[in-house]
Amino acid sequence: MLSPVTELTPRAAPQMLALLDRDHSILAFNQRVFDWACRNDVPLLERLRYLCIVSSNLDEFFEVRAEPHLSAKQGHDQEGIYTAASFDRLSAAIHELVHRQYALYNEALMPAFEKQGIKIVAHGERNAAQRRWVKQYFESEVKPLLIPVGLDPSHPFPQVANKSLNFIVRLVGHDAFGRENDVAIVKVPRVLPRVIRLPDKLCGKRTLFISLSSIIRAHLTELFPGREVSQFSQFRVTRHSDLAVDEEDVKNLRTALRQGLQHRHYGQAVRLEVSAGCSDYLAGFLLKQFGLPEGALYRVHGPVNLVRLGQLVDLVDEPRLRFPPYKASYPGRLGTDQSIFEQLKRGDVIIHQPYESFDGVLAFLREAVNDPQVLAIKQTIYRTGSNSELMELLREAVRRGKEVTVVLELKARFDEEVNINWAEQLESIGVQVVYGVVGLKTHAKMMLITRREGRHFKRYAHLSTGNYNPVTARFYTDISHLTADTALTADIEHVFIHLAGQSRLPRLNRLWLAPLQLHRKLLEKIESLGAAAAAGQPARIVAKMNALTDEALIRALIAAGKQGVKIDLIVRGACMLPAQVPGETDNIRVRSIIGRFLEHARVFYFRQGEAEELYLSSADWMNRNMLRRVELAWPVLDPLLRQRIVDECLVAGLHDSLDAWDLLPDGRYERARPPAGRPAIGAQNALMARYATRDSHDRL
């Protein structure tokens, strides 16, 4: 089980306070997610889902972050700071987390499921009728898709795709040609389900499942007639999968990326997972084949891919083992009986997702598509999913004769193929699709509607801290901002022209744009508050984000805290700023909230004396967001809306005593506790209750 304290390793910085190591901080975040899988107050299917999320996060960690560490053994990585010792510490921490995952799976979750009459039945536990059904399933559904490859000089080791399920087999005897080739590989196609439900007639009163790996394992010998299988193991290799395209040296970015996707599944190997019982001979054979050190080998007591166990969550129809359903309310300030455009003329609207529904954003776009007075729609797309009503609305807008421009980010990691497909579909019907600025990812989320009203044009806009994805909008916490503010919409128009035409950007009135001025503006704001505090004025910073790893911003916060600024940071994931270090960061508190929903909103609050400013943003405080992406931050000027965001996003998080973790001076995270005699309060639970019970006309 997860202990209440998880350790981070400091990163050395000469003559300055040592910052926390980014990779250990990422692992600590995953340990906090893992805690949800350990909690007995979480429904059983949801605990399994969190276990799968941790595995998915670790997959991405290896795919994106692990490549530099393979060279760390030689004392260098991309930042020149990793040593063999620090690499070994990181590897040990990952191995420990994986060990705890499988211990929880085997010793807690699977026994708990069995008590509920739900079980994944191993081969040795199946009765005769179940074995007959499994054999028939293997013969009809699995075996026709398997091609075992016996290795010899004319049958080299096959290409094994990233994160695919495979078997390695050691054989006794001679092959059909009298040779003694003793190793074979069986690749398992991804089209096969990893968990199969047994028919009810074979289950009694229980709900029983069979894993695909156990089906293949039970019938391996049938794939090698005339040979004896002496050793075998599942295995799975994780490969470096971050696409690298030299944008300056390609004529068509979309074509180059599509070509790169063909090779993503076969990048450099960085991790090897095998069954716990895999022989040293087979494990060594695989390590040598993939060119991996011993530390990259993970022996696991269970399925080599816990991520695919998420299928079990979807196959079990037991509402009592899930979170109670939550239905988001329609945004209270968006009445359904009148035009949204008319409502925005009276004032801005804030939508707090997922407590309020993303349907409000879709309604805004739908009204624009159907309104004959709307002449143009401009929008950025980073992640929207493969089936998106929003994209269908943009296509309908083109059919209705409107001018539609989409700034579509092709390099959104692991969404490249989906976005390339959308680009081709949109271009085919006449949408003006552009891919932003060479060398930068367009991560800003904005939509601009231009409408003819009498003899003039009027602009309406949507800005968001999160993606235009109706699916993730149901479980990511984000803020959507609808506005008709003249200065703000003019800024957005300038940004779209800048991205499409690459023209010089005029001076902006309201927006802070990365990489041009967002970083500088944040540093100036922090430094000005530090100066005010040093002069004796009350100064306060409360910032909520997903990651804090930009060293310049961290150093600025540390300096401001030393000058007397009271600083609270709500950082869900990686944070390199050590909090509450005596004499250094006494005025800085850092906490992380891991809840039912993924905390995703970026909110920055600054107060000097009685003057308050609040910015929403698409950007985390990371170097890449500040200097290598197109990002936005914008102010919320309406005092009532600003106070609502402060209450719901910041104050609620700072008082959370159920799902929050506090960063300690020595770099560890500790679960927040309620005051003595008081019940634990979770910010997300409180907001779900508020939006489920309040009438829409009461909401601001």
Residues 64 and 23: beta-carbon distance below 8 Å: no
Helix (H) or strand (E) holding 49: helix 44-70
CA 187 to chain CA centroid, Å, is 28
Its pTM stands at 0.90
Q: Which positions ≥6 away from 114 have C-beta within 8 Å?
A: none
Rg (CA), the chain: 27
Other C-beta atoms lying within 10 Å of the C-beta of residue 502: 12
- 532-585 tens-digit pLDDT: 999 999 999 999 999 999 999 999 999 999 999 999 999 999 999 999 999 999
The catalytically annotated residue of 69, 219, 240, 443 is: 443
The three-state secondary structure class of 199 is: coil
Which structure tokens are listed for 582? 């005596």
Other C-beta atoms lying within 10 Å of the C-beta of residue 627: 15
Q: List residues bridging with 592 in a β-sheet.
A: 661
DSSP letter, residue 250? -
- 299-308 tens-digit pLDDT: 999 999 999 9
How far apart (Å, rounded) are the C-alpha atoms in residues 373 and 384? 27
The three-state secondary structure class of 264 is: helix
Q: Which positions ≥6 away from 536 have C-beta within 8 Å?
A: none
Q: H helices within 105-201, ranges in order?
A: 110-115, 128-137
Residue 142 pLDDT: 96
Domains of the chain with bracketed CATH: 1-111 (1.20.58.310), 146-193+211-308 (3.30.1840), 348-509 (3.30.870.10), 514-698 (3.30.870.10)
Q: Which residues of the chain have pLDDT under 50?
A: 1-7, 12-14, 68-80, 245-251, 254, 257, 261, 695-700
Q: Which residue is it, tokens 């039970």? A: 218
Q: Is 443 a catalytic residue?
A: yes
